[in-house]
Amino acid sequence: MEQNQAKVIVDGGFKPDVVSLKEGFPAQLIFIRTSDQGCLNHVNSTTLAFSAELPLNQPVTVNLQPLKSGNYDFSCGMEMFFGKVVVE
């Protein structure tokens, strides 16, 4: 099966801050924090039900169950920086 994943570089913000995933298949978000800037050593999402530490320069894969179409938010631990997952 085709991979259903999106990569986000964490470098003083989430880059890109909008990513897309396909509806109805297991999915992965891969975060790579490449900078010590800001307060981005933690990412979480209430709507996607995950929470992860982001060690510097180590890709972190978040596995997601098949998703329904819609928009989902994620943010840094202090909810200062935000990103969005568009599932369709």
Binding site for Cu ion (CB under 5 A): 39, 76, 78, 80
Between residues 10 and 76, which has the closer beta carbon with respect to Cu ion?
A: 76
50, 52, 8: which is closest to 33 by C-alpha? Answer: 8
Minimum CB separation of residue 85 from Cu ion in Å reads: 18
Could you give the CA distance from residue 88 to residue 47 in angstroms, rounded to a whole number? 16
3-state SS, residue 80: coil
Between residues 21 and 29, which has the closer beta carbon with respect to Cu ion?
A: 29
Between residues 24 and 78, which has the closer beta carbon with respect to Cu ion?
A: 78
